[in-house]
Amino acid sequence: MATILVLHGPNLNLLGSREPVIYGHATLEDINQKLTALCIEAGHHLQVLQSNAEYELIERIHEAKNEGVNFIIFNPAAFTHTSIALRDALAAVDIPFIECHLSNVHKREEFRKTSYFSDLAAGVICGFGPQSYELALQAAISLSKDK
C-alpha cells in the first residue's frame, strides 16, 4: 500500500468559480473526492492539502519525508513559475513527484511556459482539466508498484 500526497497550490481553493472557461466547473472538493475514491479502490492511501501559502506547502513536503509518503502529485499553480523554495524542498526530500496542471500551460501566456519543477518531476501532466489529476494518480499508482 502506497501513501500518495496531493498538493494544490494557491487559488485552487476557488476552483468551480475561478475562470471556468480555463479551469472548468469542478470544485476542489469534487476533485479530491474523486481522487480519494480512486485511491481507496486501488488499495492505497491518499492525503491532500491545498494552501495559498508557500511556507505551508514547503512544510508539508518536509513532513512527507518523515511520514514515508511514497509519491507526491503537485499542482503548484502560480508557484510553478516562481518558486525556487518549493523546488528546493522537493529536491531535498527526494520523493518522486508528478507536476500536474488543469490547463495546458503551454497554450497560454509566455510566463506560464517556465516551470521550476518539470526537470525534477517524474512526469508532467497538463491540459485535461480535473482529469489531469486522475491521470497523474494512475501514473503515481503504477510507478509506486514498480518500487
Active site residue ranges: 23, 101
Minimal distance, residue 115 CB to ligand DQA, in Å: 9
Binding flag, residue 69, ligand DQA (CB under 6 A):
no
Please identify, using beta-carbon distances, which residue of 7 and 105 lies nearer to ligand DQA.
Answer: 105
Site for ligand DQA in 5-34 (CB under 6 A): 11
Q: How far apart are CA 126 and CA 20, in angstroms?
A: 16
Q: Per CB under 6 A, does 80 bind ligand DQA?
A: yes
Residue 69 or 100 having the CB closest to ligand DQA: 100
Decide: is 135 part of the binding site for ligand DQA (CB under 6 A). no
Say which residues have a Cβ less than 8 Å from residue 122's Cβ, sequence separation at least 6. 96, 97, 98, 139, 143
Write down the H helix ranges in 1-147: 20-23, 28-41, 54-67, 84-93, 131-145
Enter the C-alpha cell of residue 25: 466547473
Q: For residues 57 and 86, what is the distance between their CA atoms, to the nearest angstrom? A: 8
Mapped onto helix, strand or coil, the DSSP state of residue 69 is: coil
Number of residues this chain uses to bind ligand DQA (CB under 6 A): 10
Exactly one of 5, 26, 102, 137 binds ligand DQA (CB under 6 A); that residue is 102
Residues that bind ligand DQA (CB under 6 A): 11, 75, 77-78, 80, 101-103, 105, 112
